[in-house]
């Protein structure tokens, strides 16, 4: 079945460091891909998405490119801030927009130190 694999955390970085969180997926067909973020004490929020191959999703300085050839959707940010400390989830949806079933990765905790 469909699945998502993320790099294990926690990832600990100093402020202004470059961030990469790896995400690979297995799916039939052509899924949409997402990154969600969960800040401490809050619910999940959509960070960015991409719906087809070579699409680049971007938001708040974060980027991820849908790579069909490598089945990957790695999250990157050029310069992290302490406020980026959160848990990041990669997810895919291979179904229509009217359903709410997402397959999530296990989450990667990011800690940014001043």
Partner 1 sequence: SAVISQKPSRDICQRGTSLTIQCQVDSQVTMMFWYRQQPGQSLTLIATANQGSEATYESGFVIDKFPISRPNLTFSTLTVSNMSPEDSSIYLCSVVRQKPESGANVLTFGAGSRLTVL
Exactly one of 7, 24, 27, 51 binds partner 1 (CB under 8 A); which one?
A: 51
CA 86 to chain CA centroid, nearest Å:
12
> Is residue 49 close enough to count as binding partner 1 by CB under 8 A?
yes
CB of 34 to partner 1, least distance (A): 8
Exactly one of 19, 102, 110, 112 binds partner 1 (CB under 8 A); which one?
A: 102
> Is residue 45 close enough to count as binding partner 1 by CB under 8 A?
yes
Q: Are 7 and 21 in contact (CB under 8 A)?
A: yes
CB of 3 to partner 1, least distance (A): 10
> Is residue 101 close enough to count as binding partner 1 by CB under 8 A?
yes
Residues with Cβ within 8 Å of 15's Cβ and at least 6 positions away in sequence, in order, are: 80, 81, 82, 112, 113, 114
Q: Are 80 and 19 in contact (CB under 8 A)?
A: yes
């Amino acid at each position: 079945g469909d699945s998502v694999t993320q790099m294990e955390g926690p990832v600990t970085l100093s402020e202004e460091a470059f961030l990469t969180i790896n995400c690979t997926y297995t799916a039939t067909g052509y899924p949409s891909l997402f990154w969600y973020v969960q800040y401490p004490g809050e619910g999940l929020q959509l960070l960015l998405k991409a719906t087809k191959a070579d699409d680049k999703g971007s938001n708040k300085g974060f980027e991820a490119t849908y790579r069909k050839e490598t089945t990957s959707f790695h999250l990157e940010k050029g310069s992290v801030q302490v406020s980026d400390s959160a848990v990041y989830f990669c997810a895919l949806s291979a179904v229509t927009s009217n359903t709410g079933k997402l397959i999530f990765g296990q989450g990667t905790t990011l800690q940014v130190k001043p």
